[in-house]
Amino acid sequence: MHIPDGFLSPQTYLPAYALAAGAWAWAARGLRARLDEELVPRLAAMTALAYGLGLVMVPVPGGTSGHALGVAMLALLFGPRLAFLAYSLVLVLQSLLFGAGGITALPVNALAMGLAGAFAAVAVHRALRGINETAAVALAAWVSVVVSAALVALVLGAQPLVAQRADGTPLFFPFGFSIVLPAVLLPHLAIGVGEALLTVAVWRFARRRRWRAAA
Amino acid sequence: MTPAGWLAAYLGAVVAVGFVHSPAALAALFACALAAAGRPRWRLLRRALVAVLAFNLAVSAGYAAVALWRGDFAADYLLLVNLRVLLLVFLGFWFVARVNVLAAFAFSPTLTLLATLAVVQAQHFARLARDFRLAFVSRNPAPARLADRARHASAQAATLLDKSVAGAAETALAMRSRGGFDD
Amino acid sequence: MIELENVAFAWPDAPPAFADLTLTIGQGEKVVLLGANGCGKSTLLKLLDGLVAPTAGAYRYAGEAVTPAALKARGRGRRFRAEVALLFQHPEAMLFNPTVFDEVAYTPRRLGLADAEERARRWLAALDLAALADKAPFTLSGGEKQKVALAAVLAVEPRLLLLDEPSASLDPRTAGWLVDLLQDGPATVIVSTHNLSLAAELGERCLILGENRRLIYDGPVEAALADLDLLERANLAHRHRHRHGGHAHAHAHRHDWESS
């Protein structure tokens, strides 16, 4: 869900930045006191990991592959706060350093994928892990993909409402909800399945390695 | 101008361009940016074109189809949105090429350290991911089956996880041994 | 068997990895590819394995042009992968199967060979890996991973074997066994290394990639290893001072070191 600069209106991304700033401050609160030789490398490694996971192609039935999000994996293994911060830092690096990814879409992506995706994954996992661990992990990953996609689609679909000319021609992203929601959501229902399979496989690997899962 | 100054100028320009809704004015701004970018301008322009091509073509073609069907097609909009996207992406590439972005974070030493560590590892991971992909091609005489691709993707993710956990521990030790955070 | 004609390659957004390579390698030749770190050895092997396309010039294998696109043709890619195998520098990149046995049998099975299992057993035994057959590859040590990756490549029994720094984490016994195997076998072998003593044992012919990203030597191994000026230019040998009882003098040195 790589939105280039220029499709989101300032009326959208400026408030989104304000909201994201609050979320970053909240996620970093408490961490700041522990920003030491333990946490800085950990956060850096996790950021690189979030970036690397984005390069892994998710196998999707039918042969095509979409890109992995990996947020659910990070959130289940290391907690939603750290996942959100690492994912946000990846977006910053991608847009500023590697020149890939819009600086205006950044807060929307960070909030939708990093924050909502991570919390959706953890919430679903907590709710269901008592019933069946594997199903809980798979569903957590699937839900986090679909929730993120839905949020991004909502923001895109709202653009014609937020900013248009007097005669009704759009100024930014041209399509309303009726087109964007199915166009974005339907492929992500399948991508979510690939992501779920991948997350379960890595979860098992992490358990075998006895990594401490997020409490 | 300092790197942090360039960062502020770039961000200001991005926001300002978002409030310009006249294709003619955007074209004029684009011409100014091209003129000011100096020698690498055509390389930057080509990269910007390639970067936005897929998304913009899809949106433009989709808009044309839907609008023609509804009977409210506006060529003006297509020009406006494509010009603006291209200008903003061009500005982004220009900024990245002109300024050492890590130095632009200098206002926060922790952020600089964090970003530098992350970038080094991210590049390492990118190389590793490329090797994984090529090794998979090399070992598959025919297009791989879904189950094999799934196993390959999870092995790749697990290796990246493993390396990042080990990398974090290693960097922490190295920083401690070099006296980092000893205030 | 292999013809390179003015071949150049560059990764996207990077300076050229090498340029202007022209050479031919005949059936059954044992070639050592030398060069300091970052001189494009690994990239050249990936190009020879048809994984990346030359950005300039032409690469022909058995008379036919090789690029990733050309290998998409049905039958062609299958034939090429059955004849050419590459051992990656980092063995992790090759390991993704649930057990060591499946790992080694993977490509033979994909090729639909009737003796895939039998081949896997044979090469596991040859490399002393039989005891690990049921283990998961990711639980192994670095040296064991390298051996599993090597077995996976050898089990293809290719006509062209490309090895990228195979001795980096091999124990001396396995390295010696590999040298014998390669020398006695019929396959064409191209081995990249910066380990000069291994180069001397392994190959007859030696290619040196210089720091100018071009081929600076193509000839017999012995002559190359005796030419300290050449090795120094390729950054494979270095010059430093010695003291002998108060007298200091300087001369070039070969160093047989390894790095990953």
DSSP output for B67-79: HHHHT---HHHHH
pLDDT digits (tens, 9 = 90+) for A197-214: 888 888 887 777 766 544
Chain B residues within 8 A of C95 when measuring between CB atoms: 155
Task: Identify which has the larger pLDDT, A107 or B55.
Answer: A107
Mutate to test the interface with B, among A55, A165, A207 (most CBs of B within 10 A): A55
- pLDDT at residue C40 is higher than 80: yes
Handedness of CA A17, A20, A26, A27 (dihedral sign): negative
How far, in Å, CA of A104 to CA of A110, rounded? 11
Buried b (16+ CB within 10 A) or exposed e, C144-163: bbbbbbbbbbbbbbbbbbbb
Question: What one-character DSSP code corresponds to residue C49?
Answer: T
What is the model's pLDDT at position C247? 75
Buried b (16+ CB within 10 A) or exposed e, B77-93: bbebbbbbbbbbbbbbb
Count CA atoms closer than 13 A to A85's CA, side-chain side.
Answer: 24
C29 token code pair: 């030749």
What is the model's pLDDT at position C260? 37
Instruction: Please state which of the ranges A179-183, B178-182, C196-200 shows the lowest mean pLDDT.
Output: B178-182
Supply the angle between the helices B109-139 and C100-110 in degrees, to the nearest 10.
50
Would you say how long chain C is, in residues?
A: 260
Confidence of residue A163 (pLDDT cuts 50, 70, 90): confident
Hey, are the CB atoms on C78 and B142 less than 8 Å from each other? yes
Look at residues B37, B26, B7 and name the one whose alpha carbon lies nearest to residue B86. B26
What is the model's pLDDT at position A100? 63
A145 token code pair: 């993909």
A148 C-beta neighbours (distance < 10 Å), count:
27
Mutate to test the interface with B, among A3, A17, A57 (most CBs of B within 10 A): A57
- Burial class of residue C201, CB neighbours in 10 A (0-12, 13-18, 19+): middle
How far, in Å, CA of A181 to CA of C184, rounded? 64
Confidence of residue A101 (pLDDT cuts 50, 70, 90): low
A182 C-beta neighbours (distance < 10 Å), count:
11
Question: What one-character DSSP code corresponds to residue C135?
Answer: S
Judge whether A213 lies within some domain.
no
- pLDDT at residue B161 is higher than 60: yes
| Residue at A107: amino acid letter | P
pLDDT digits (tens, 9 = 90+) for A8-26: 888 899 999 999 999 998 8
Q: What is the mean pLDDT of chain C?
A: 86
What is the model's pLDDT at position B183? 43
What is the model's pLDDT at position A65? 46
- Output the pTM of the full model: 0.75
What residue segments make up the domains of chain B, in order of their start?
3-103, 108-177
Hey, are the CB atoms on B89 and A4 less than 8 Å from each other? yes
| Nearest CA-CA distance, residue B168 and chain C, Å | 19
How far, in Å, CA of C27 to CA of C62, rounded? 9
Question: What one-character DSSP code corresponds to residue B117?
Answer: H
pLDDT digits (tens, 9 = 90+) for C172-190: 888 889 988 988 889 999 9
A215 touches chain B (CB under 8 A): no
Alpha-helical (H) ranges within A56-79 are 71-78
Hey, are the CB atoms on B135 and C68 less than 8 Å from each other? no
Instruction: Please state which of the ranges A60-69, B28-37, B52-61, C222-231 shows the lowest mean pLDDT.
Output: A60-69
Instruction: Please report, for residues B116, C242, C252, the alpha-carbon distance to residue C246 in angstroms, rounded to integers and kept in the order given.
Output: 47, 10, 20
Judge whether A34 lies within some domain.
yes
What is the model's pLDDT at position A34? 60
A176 touches chain B (CB under 8 A): no
Percentage above 70 pLDDT, chain C: 95
Hey, are the CB atoms on B141 and C107 less than 8 Å from each other? yes
Chain B residues within 8 A of C138 when measuring between CB atoms: 155, 158-159, 162
Judge whether A5 lies within some domain.
no
B76 touches chain C (CB under 8 A): no
Range of the domain at A174: 10-208
A13-19 long-range Cβ contacts below 8 angstroms, 24+ apart: A13/A104, A13/A105, A13/A106, A13/A107, A13/A108, A13/B18, A14/B15, A16/A107, A16/A108, A16/A111, A16/A155, A17/A107, A19/A107, A19/A111
C94 touches chain B (CB under 8 A): yes
Q: What is the mean pLDDT of chain A?
A: 82
| Nearest CA-CA distance, residue B87 and chain A, Å | 9
Chain B residues within 8 A of C86 when measuring between CB atoms: 135, 138
| H or E element at residue A187 | helix A177-208
C230-236 long-range Cβ contacts below 8 angstroms, 24+ apart: C231/C196, C234/C34, C234/C35, C234/C36, C234/C39, C234/C208, C234/C209, C234/C210, C235/C36, C235/C211, C236/C34, C236/C35, C236/C36, C236/C194, C236/C196, C236/C208
Task: Identify which has the larger pLDDT, A15 or C202.
Answer: A15
Count CA atoms closer than 13 A to A4's CA, side-chain side.
Answer: 27
Instruction: Provide the number of structural domains found in chain A.
Output: 1
Mutate to test the interface with C, among B123, B133, B138 (most CBs of C within 10 A): B138
How far, in Å, CA of A87 to CA of A73, rounded? 12
pLDDT, average across residues A187-193: 87
A residues 121-160 closer than 8 Å to B (CB): none
H helices, E strands: number in chain C: 9, 12
pLDDT digits (tens, 9 = 90+) for C43-78: 999 999 988 899 999 999 998 998 888 888 878 888
What is the model's pLDDT at position A116? 94
Confidence of residue A90 (pLDDT cuts 50, 70, 90): confident
Look at residues B150, B163, B144, B46 and name the one whose alpha carbon lies nearest to residue B93. B46
What is the model's pLDDT at position A92? 85
Q: What is the mean pLDDT of chain B?
A: 83
**Residue showing tokens 């970052």:** C38
- Fold type of domain C2-254: Rossmann fold (3.40.50)
A57: which strand partners?
A67
pLDDT, average across residues C126-135: 91
- Give the angle A127-A115-B104 at the CA atoms, nearest 5°: 155
Judge whether A16 lies within some domain.
yes
> What CATH number is associated with residue A99?
1.10.1760.20
What is the model's pLDDT at position A215? 36
C31 CB contacts (<8 Å, ≥6 apart)?
A: C25, C188, C189, C190, C191, C203, C204, C205, C206, C207
C33 token code pair: 């590819």
C202 C-beta neighbours (distance < 10 Å), count:
24
What residue segments make up the domains of chain C, in order of their start?
2-254
C104 touches chain B (CB under 8 A): no
| Nearest CA-CA distance, residue A51 and chain B, Å | 6
Look at residues B161, C218, C44 and name the one whose alpha carbon lies nearest to residue A42. B161
Percentage above 90 pLDDT, chain A: 23
Question: What one-character DSSP code corresponds to residue C203?
Answer: -
Question: What one-character DSSP code corresponds to residue A131?
Answer: T
Mutate to test the interface with B, among A5, A87, A173 (most CBs of B within 10 A): A5
pLDDT, average across residues A60-89: 76
Judge whether A1 lies within some domain.
no
